[in-house]
């Protein structure tokens, strides 16, 4: 845990999650290997007596059994199980390569659960404009600024709530991302104007937290993630959008998608979003419906129709459905 926090630079929250993952894994192991009573809940099992011998004797079969338990008994999806696998892999890599407590890594061939690839949900341009136009009320300048930064800069919610006034430097925004990695984003005119309006209102407040860029009017302290989630849902509903299908993170998806659709290349987008790996950014390279229509029309067989049967024009006057040239089949 110390290695991850001090050397790898992971956040305290990430380190705590690693600890919880490992604790649950070793609790399961103790029960499966009859080192703890079967009649007590897993969450009540202590891991204080887990030693190097138990750690060394772990096999891939043990871990796959644990994955099966997480899936069937705990109902965890593939993404959640994949994070558990990543934690276990990291732990054993540390014991083998850094601490030199193991000569061989027993989990080096551990496979990660295959995850379903689905397209990220996002707002289209008109829906994004409607969302911004729906902002009203006593927190209007703050909420509008938050939504504008989400939709233009693709910030994570943790990055947004962590912003300080000193992070705004003219047309630049300093962002502290995952793993304490810093990046600088350029602010377009919309972002600069929204920030100016909010700072004017913010400067008129008596604040407890003088550093926080975004604060709540209720306690004058740094705004929380829960408060941001709430205001996003509120304005989505006000714009007539399904607030159960979209969230602050979906606004990050929206920013990424709109940038790609308007000519930003994937590697530039990777820098904007703060992704370590290009593979993460490539989930946004889904092709929109207009491109799919163009691809269909570009096929050289697009205008070939069946002989001897006239095309029937749809009642709505739209283009006729393309039919391939083929023989009748009895």
Catalytically annotated residues: 156, 178, 249, 252, 275, 284
Backbone angles phi, psi at 187, to 5 degrees: -100, 125
Q: Which two tokens stand for residue 210?
A: 């003088």
Question: Is residue 163 packed enough to be buried (19+ CB in 10 Å), middle (13-18) or exposed (0-12)?
Answer: buried
Q: What is the rounded CA–CA span in Å between residue 281 and residue 118?
A: 14
For residue 176, the number of C-alpha atoms closer than 13 Å in the C-beta half-sphere is: 12
Count, residues in the chain: 330
Question: Is residue 158 packed enough to be buried (19+ CB in 10 Å), middle (13-18) or exposed (0-12)?
Answer: middle
Q: Helices in the chain by DSSP H: which ranges?
A: 2, 12-32, 52-56, 60-72, 78-93, 125-133, 140-153, 157-161, 189-203, 225-238, 248-261, 266-273, 278-281, 289-298
What does the DSSP 8-state code read for residue 215?
Answer: B
Q: What is the dihedral of CA 152, 158, 161, 163, to 10 degrees?
A: -70
Q: What is the rounded CA–CA span in Å between residue 234 and residue 243?
A: 8
């Amino acid at each position: 845990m110390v290695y991850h926090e001090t050397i790898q630079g992971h956040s305290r929250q990430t380190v705590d999650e690693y600890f919880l993952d490992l604790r649950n894994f070793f609790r399961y192991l103790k029960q499966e290997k009859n080192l703890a009573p079967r009649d007590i809940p897993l969450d009540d099992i202590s891991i204080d007596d887990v030693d190097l011998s138990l750690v060394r004797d772990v096999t891939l079969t043990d871990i796959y059994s644990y994955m099966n338990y997480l899936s069937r008994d705990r109902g965890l999806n593939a993404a959640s199980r994949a994070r558990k696998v990543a934690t276990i892999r990291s732990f054993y890599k540390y014991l083998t390569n850094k601490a030199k407590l193991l000569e061989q890594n027993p989990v080096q061939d551990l496979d990660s659960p295959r995850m379903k690839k689905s397209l990220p949900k996002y707002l289209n341009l008109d829906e994004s404009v409607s969302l911004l136009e729906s902002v009203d009320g006593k927190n209007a300048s703050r909420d509008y600024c938050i939504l504008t930064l989400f939709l233009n800069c693709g910030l994570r919610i943790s990055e947004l709530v962590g912003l300080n006034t000193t992070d705004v430097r003219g047309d630049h925004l300093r962002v502290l991302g995952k793993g304490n990695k810093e990046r600088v984003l350029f602010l377009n005119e919309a972002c600069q104007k929204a920030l100016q309006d909010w700072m004017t209102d913010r400067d008129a407040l008596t604040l407890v937290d003088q550093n926080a860029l975004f604060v709540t009017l209720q306690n004058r302290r740094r705004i929380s993630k829960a408060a941001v989630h709430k205001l996003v849902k509120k304005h989505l509903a006000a714009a007539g959008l399904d607030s159960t299908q979209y969230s602050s993170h979906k606004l990050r998806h929206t920013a990424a998608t709109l940038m790609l659709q308007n000519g930003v290349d994937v590697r530039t987008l990777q820098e904007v979003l703060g992704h370590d790996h290009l593979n993460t950014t490539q989930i946004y390279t889904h092709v929109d419906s207009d491109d799919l229509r163009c691809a269909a029309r570009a096929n050289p067989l697009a205008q070939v129709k069946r002989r001897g049967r006239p095309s029937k024009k749809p009642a709505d006057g739209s283009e006729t459905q393309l039919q391939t040239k083929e023989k009748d089949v009895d």
